[in-house]
Amino acid sequence: MTLLKADNITMRFGGLTAVDSFKIEIEPGEIVGLIGPNGAGKTTVFNMITGIYTPTENRIYFQEEDITGLKPDRIAKMGIARTFQNIRLLDNLSVLDNVMIGTHLHLKSNLFSAIFRLPGYVKEENELYEKSRQLLKKVELDEYAGEKAGSLPYGKQRKLEIARALATEPRLLLLDEPAAGMNPQESKELVDFIRQIRDEFEVTVFLIEHDMKVVMEICERILVLDYGVTIAEGKPEEIKNNPEVIKAYLGVDVVNA
Amino acid sequence: MTRKKEQLLSFVALIVLAILTYLAQNYLDNYKLRILNLGAIYATLGVSLNLIFGFTGQFSLGHAGFMAIGAYTTALLIMPPMYKEMTFIIEPLIWPLNVLQLPFIVALLLGGLFAAILAILIGLPVLRLKGDYLGIATLGFAEIVRVIANNIPQVTNGALGLKGIPQYTNLWWTMGFAVLTVFIVKRLISSSYGRALMAIRENEIAAEAIGVNLTYHKVMSFTISAFFAGIGGGLLASLLTTIDPRAFMFIMTFNVLIVVVIGGLGSITGTVIAAFLFNFCLEYLRPIEEGFSLGPLSIPEVPGLRMVTFSLLLLVVILFKQNGLMGEIEFTWKGFFRFLSRFKANRPMKGEGM
């Protein structure tokens, strides 16, 4: 079963076509990359999938269900989680709370039993706590559990954002430039980390990245966007040698030279 | 410290509070009792405003509107029919309000309930706004409530207001509801729902992306806040025994807002402390208005100087303690004993010195 399917979706802002007829099919367990120069429309694609924007044309399907136009929290509930290009943590809350809020969407107890601490809620709360603790352990952030999320070093903040996304138990994980601002050593660790969570949490990963080293190493399939148009799709080696891609990134003269 | 022990301590503290309330209710004069009552009512109002503003991050200035609804509902339901006939001289009170008389607690809860229902109705459209815009919209709502109250004499007696409301409010009621409000809000914010509210405050986009339903949580917080504002209004009506639309001008909301800001946005403890402090200061700064001399400088009688002093005090707090008295810190038994042990550790050192 195809996990995510976008059928020629188009996003227009007034006269500007940010994304034109974007087409993708992602199978469970894949790691797919989305690259392209600045302003190519990559984040717009993510925003359409996660419900921040509704595509102007055509529809998006997740596990064969139409998710076009649903609100972001509904889409998160269905199993799509994401991180943001500019980290969006809940800075003043603890690391543990950040992850626990990710589990809130699975809470079954109602408000009344939560306020009056009825046995059903207490049991659930304990489960959520254990689950979050486990998750922090798995991503090696356990020792920071009590610290404010905003006080973590940059690399750890990125990791925490991924952990928070994982807390929602997604089937599909969208990572928006996970290696941005990382040094080569951190990027290398990130590659291993993404592989590890793919296997351990059985998620499918769809990521935007500018660090070509990371993209080429980790992605099994890559799409290239330029001015909202998909100009290439294929395996990393194919993309590397595609003249269209080189033109988009480096300009036309380099190709002719 | 174990959870059991903490619960036991809280229970003991409640009993102590009950004893103090009993003593105050029976041995303090009316003037002091009134200040304490107002303090407790402001604690209820402040903690409820803190829920929507401090914890959920939604800048609501509609508190006076919800209070007005609670106050009028309570007043109309507890006034004896004979009194109502005497009060409504311009236009008679409509049926069934003119014959209805209910117990105080029922009237209070109904007042809170009406405020809560209205909060759902206006919250659904208005809570889509953010920041200052939400503040303006909710302020507008409160003003609308006031203007309507002014213009339906067959229900509210118009600008004349209601007089002769039975004075049921005493320290038991005000303290009881203050404790209940603190209990419910504290339990709410330390639950999973409360974490979701704080997530909305910290970053709306992130909260939504991890599955927090913004509309549901915002409206829920707004509604609970309005419920206690309505109850606070009802308690106030029965304490003052007279209300009119002018009592619920935006200055009322700002008084509560001052309490929340001085106490610390996001601190229930701070709000409660600030609520009492605010009312003590308002009263004990009165002598300033009567004129006094500062050495060679003699200051004549200036009505309203009390409020100027109060504004200055507020400025000092905002300049030097931006996060309010308590910041985001809450009272816990653990923290309390840590605080005490500091003195214990100091004592032997003093002994050595002597």
CB contact under 8 A, B210 and A102: yes
Q: Which CATH superfamily is domain A27-54+63-79+169-257 in?
A: P-loop containing nucleotide triphosphate hydrolases (3.40.50.300)
How far is it, in rounded angstroms, from Cα A13 to Cα A1? 33
Instruction: Render pLDDT for B28-49 as a digit per residue (tens, 0 to 9).
Output: 999 999 999 999 999 999 999 9
Cβ-contact B271, B265 below 8 angstroms: no
ipTM of this predicted structure: 0.91
CB contact under 8 A, B211 and A82: no
Query: Mutating which of A78, A90, A112, A174 best tests the B interface, going by the most B Cβ atoms within 10 A?
Result: A90
How far is it, in rounded angstroms, from Cα A251 to Cα B133? 46
Residue B158 or B347, more confident: B158
In this predicted structure, what is the pLDDT of residue B210?
94
Nearest CA in chain B to A129: B192
CB contact under 8 A, B211 and A168: yes
Nearest CA in chain A to B189: A115
Strand partners of residue A206: A32, A174
CB contact under 8 A, B220 and A111: yes
In this predicted structure, what is the pLDDT of residue B351?
41
Residue B3 or B255, more confident: B255
Tokens linked to B274: 């600030």
Cβ-contact A224, A233 below 8 angstroms: yes
In this predicted structure, what is the pLDDT of residue B57?
95
In this predicted structure, what is the pLDDT of residue B1?
64
Instruction: Choose among A91, A115, A168: nearest Cβ to B184.
Output: A115
Nearest CA in chain B to A75: B211
Instruction: Choose among A71, A81, A88: nearest Cβ to B205.
Output: A88
A112 at the B interface (CB within 8 A)? no
How far is it, in rounded angstroms, from Cα B265 to Cα B270? 8
Give B303's contacts (C-beta < 8 A, 6+ positions apart): B289
In this predicted structure, what is the pLDDT of residue B316?
86
CB contact under 8 A, B202 and A125: no
Instruction: Render pLDDT for B160-181 as a digit per residue (tens, 0 to 9).
Output: 999 999 999 999 999 999 999 9
* Side-chain-side CA neighbours of residue A129 (13 Å): 10
A118 at the B interface (CB within 8 A)? no
Please state which of the ranges A167-181, B51-65, B92-106, B195-209 shows the lowest mean pLDDT: B92-106
For residue A76, the chain B residues in CB contact (below 8 A) are: 208-211
Strand partners of residue B298: B293
B3 at the A interface (CB within 8 A)? no
Query: Mutating which of B181, B192, B197 best tests the A interface, going by the most A Cβ atoms within 10 A?
Result: B192
Q: Is the pLDDT confidence value at B293 over 80?
A: no
User: pLDDT band at B329, cuts 50/70/90?
Assistant: confident
Least Cα separation, residue B264 to chain A (angstroms) = 15
3-state secondary structure chain B: CCHHHHHHHHHHHHHHHHHHHHHHHHHCCHHHHHHHHHHHHHHHHHHHHHHHHHHCCCCCCCHHHHHHHHHHHHHHHHCCHHHHHHHCCCCCCCCCCCCCCCCHHHHHHHHHHHHHHHHHHHHHHHCCCCHHHHHHHHHHHHHHHHHHHHHCHHHHCHHHCECCCCCCCCHHHHHHHHHHHHHHHHHHHCCHHHHHHHHHHHCHHHHHHCCCCHHHHHHHHHHHHHHHHHHHHHHHHHHHCCECHHHHCHHHHHHHHHHHHHHCCCCHHHHHHHHHHHHHHHHHCHHHHCCEEECCEEECCCCCHHHHHHHHHHHHHHHHCCCCCCCCCCCCHHHHHHHHHHHHHHHHHHHHHC
| Strand segments (E) across A154-215 | 172-176, 204-208
In this predicted structure, what is the pLDDT of residue A256?
54
Q: N- to C-terminal Cα distance for chain B? A: 35
In this predicted structure, what is the pLDDT of residue B346?
59
How far is it, in rounded angstroms, from Cα B270 to Cα A218? 51
Going residue by residue through chain A (257 aa), what tens digit of pLDDT does each one get? 899 999 899 999 999 999 999 999 999 999 999 999 988 999 999 999 999 999 999 999 999 999 999 999 999 999 999 999 999 999 999 999 999 999 999 999 999 999 999 999 999 999 999 999 999 999 999 999 999 999 999 889 999 999 999 999 999 999 999 998 888 888 999 999 999 999 999 999 999 998 888 999 999 999 999 999 999 999 999 998 888 888 888 776 555 55
> For chain A, what are the domain ranges?
27-54+63-79+169-257, 89-154
A204 at the B interface (CB within 8 A)? no
Nearest CA in chain A to B188: A115
In this predicted structure, what is the pLDDT of residue A254?
54
Nearest CA in chain B to A47: B209
Cβ-contact A152, A144 below 8 angstroms: yes
Instruction: Render pLDDT for B112-146 as a digit per residue (tens, 0 to 9).
Output: 999 999 999 999 999 999 989 999 999 999 999 99
In this predicted structure, what is the pLDDT of residue B140?
96
* Cβ neighbours, 10 Å, residue A18: 21
Nearest CA in chain A to B203: A90
B207 at the A interface (CB within 8 A)? yes
CB contact under 8 A, A102 and B211: yes
Instruction: Render pLDDT for B246-265 as a digit per residue (tens, 0 to 9).
Output: 999 988 999 999 899 889 88
> For chain B, what are the domain ranges?
51-248, 251-289+302-338
Cβ-contact B279, B180 below 8 angstroms: no
Task: Choose among B120, B137, B122: nearest CA to B227.
Answer: B120
B214 at the A interface (CB within 8 A)? yes
Q: Model pTM? A: 0.91
In this predicted structure, what is the pLDDT of residue B96?
85
In this predicted structure, what is the pLDDT of residue A95?
96
Residue B282 or B220, more confident: B220
Instruction: Choose among B192, B198, B208: nearest Cβ to A72.
Output: B208
CB contact under 8 A, B210 and A167: yes
Residue A98's alpha-carbon distances to A101, B139, B324, in angstroms, are: 5, 33, 25
In this predicted structure, what is the pLDDT of residue B203?
94
Least Cα separation, residue A256 to chain B (angstroms) = 44
For residue B214, the chain A residues in CB contact (below 8 A) are: 73
In this predicted structure, what is the pLDDT of residue B3?
80
